[in-house]
Amino acid sequence: MNRLSGKTALITGAGSGIGRVIAHKFGEEGAAVVCADIKGFEETAKEIADAGGKAIGVELDVSKLDSWKKAYDLTVHEFGAVDALVNVAGIPEAADILDLEEADFDKMMNVNLKGVFFGMKTVLPHFVEKSAGKIVNIASLAAHVGLTKLPSYSASKGGVVSMTRQVAMDYAGKNIQINAVSPGIIETPILANISAEMKKQFTDATPANRLGRPDEIASMVLFLCSDESDFITGQAMIVDGGWGSQ
């Protein structure tokens, strides 16, 4: 406990799913948590506060730089600094490339890839000024292996991994660590709409013979935002039950 005591973390996508679980984990570990999302952020912040933690909710559209600036300014106003940024916000996809419309492709890039770009662009000057900072960008197993009917999603998450590695090299000498986490198939509300047959296919394809849990992703993110990971940067940590190792 208290591995993040005295730290402030800005977490996008905190209104639901993996982002919400990460926000709770950080609150339990002593961080002041800024729960950012387009909806659900107030509920997550209240849950953390009711459990004895410190948190605020903020509306954030990650695809808009002005929205990022407002979220950052509120974070610094409330807590004095930002110590960690966790880019979780993203949207899913299920389409063959022949059926994919240009507008849908652009939306995927604006949220999943440009949102990460805007987040790093917003906090990095602050991190450079204080010579410290942690960034974790949530990518996907789809960035590393071929998965069916995910053309723009895979491209966006592949971009997240590549950008993470590149920016990490530029800022490694400034005591700023930037890493990605690539989840496999995780039990989140998004999976509630898939068929039992598809769920079985996912499970069978995972050597661990089960789907992942959101708290397992949160634990990896926690490690990468703690002082224990100060010599780790530019990495894509794949948490997938062994799928990508086959």
Residues whose CB is less than 8 angstroms from the CB of residue 82 and which lie 6 or more positions away in sequence, other chains included: 8, 9, 10, 72, 75, 76, 123, 126, 127, 133
Nearest 5°: phi and psi at 186? -115, 140
Question: Which entry of 117, 127, 153, 243 is annotated as an active-site residue?
Answer: 153
What are the angstrom distances between the C-alpha of 28 and each of 81, 133, 140? Answer: 19, 20, 25
Residues whose CB is less than 8 angstroms from the CB of residue 111 and which lie 6 or more positions away in sequence, other chains included: 62, 63, 89, 90, 91, 156
- Is 72 labeled as catalytic in the residue annotation? no
Residues with a known catalytic role:
153
